[in-house]
């Protein structure tokens, strides 16, 4: 693709970004779940579950997230660190697609361990999930690959960690695109005036983020000739992110909002609302 073509696509995506990167995006997206909280730990935990549940119909995802937050008394951090065995009984019937009670209980066990003890292993001065993603990174890392690999290893380092839960916590080691975790990282790290993403994590640079490669982003990026591969894997996610860095070297993943928004609106099951050129 030549410079003129890239410039035209950048202009198109900048316009779409302006249209989608605004407060109105929040209510219909799983990011609305952490936006229901103001404390950092609550945002981290609510965001983590919202991201992990984020596959399938967005309305269903949001409803299941709200159900879980209600089961946690709308105080996810306090529930995580303070729950007793009897408090977990109310969660035993919870399920979201293939995410079962086994998966939920391990997530809760890991989060409790990290917030109370694990974060100290990484010389963190305060408990935050950020250190769980950054402890394996090197100073020269240009993307989150090492961070995600280390997080996966750490997440399943507790004794009797269930193998079945690995389908919900992906890793680049398996060439997964890590769509849901990359989306979560975007939420926690990116920050701009629009206020869609939170920007509460400061140890990860925005240009280390990797574009979440869901079916919508993949389809639109392919139609725009930003990627050649039709397979959504880690290699393709990195390839797309490197192209987006040509549009904005400091904040390439902001274009996820434009690519995703275009993909949703152009879904044949959705009502067409665009007046933009055909892609």
Helix, strand, coil fractions of the chain, as percent rounded to 5: 60, 0, 40
Locate 132 and state its tokens.
């769980």
Total residues found in the chain within this entry: 279
CB 80 within 8 Å of CB 108 = yes
- DSSP per-residue letters across 179-226: HHHHHHHHHHH---TT-SS-----SS-GGG------HHHHHHHHHTTS
Q: What is the pLDDT along the chain (279 residues), one digit of tens a residue?
A: 788 999 999 999 999 999 999 999 999 999 999 999 999 999 999 999 999 999 889 999 999 999 999 999 999 999 999 999 999 999 999 999 999 999 999 999 999 999 999 999 998 888 999 999 999 999 899 999 999 999 999 999 999 999 999 999 999 999 999 999 999 999 999 999 999 999 999 999 999 999 999 989 999 999 999 999 778 899 999 999 999 999 999 999 999 999 999 998 865 434 333 334 444
């Amino acid at each position: 693709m030549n410079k003129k073509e890239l410039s035209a696509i950048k202009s198109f995506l900048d316009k779409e970004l302006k249209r989608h990167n605004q407060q109105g995006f929040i209510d219909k997206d799983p990011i609305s779940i952490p936006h229901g909280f103001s404390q950092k730990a609550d945002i981290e935990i609510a965001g983590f579950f919202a991201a992990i549940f984020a596959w399938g119909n967005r309305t269903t995802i949001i409803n299941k997230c709200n159900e879980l937050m209600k089961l946690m008394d709308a105080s996810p951090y306090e529930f995580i660190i303070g729950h007793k065995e009897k408090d977990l009984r109310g969660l035993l019937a919870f399920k979201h697609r293939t995410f079962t009670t086994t998966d939920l209980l391990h997530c809760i066990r890991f989060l409790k361990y990290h917030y109370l003890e694990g974060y100290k292993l990484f010389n963190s001065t305060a408990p935050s999930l950020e250190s769980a993603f950054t402890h394996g990174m090197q100073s020269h890392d240009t993307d989150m690959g090492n961070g995600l690999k280390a997080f996966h290893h750490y997440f399943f380092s507790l004794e009797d960690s269930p193998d079945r839960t690995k389908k919900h916590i992906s890793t680049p080691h398996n060439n997964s695109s890590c769509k849901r975790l990359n989306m979560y990282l975007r939420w926690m790290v990116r920050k701009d005036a629009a206020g869609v993403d939170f920007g509460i994590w400061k140890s990860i640079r925005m240009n280390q983020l990797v574009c979440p490669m869901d079916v919508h982003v993949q389809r639109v990026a392919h139609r725009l000739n930003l990627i050649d591969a039709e397979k959504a894997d880690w290699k393709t996610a990195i390839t797309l992110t490197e192209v987006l860095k040509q549009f904005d070297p400091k904040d390439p993943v902001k274009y996820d909002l434009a690519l995703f928004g275009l993909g949703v609106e152009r879904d044949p099951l959705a009502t067409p609302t665009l007046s933009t050129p055909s892609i």
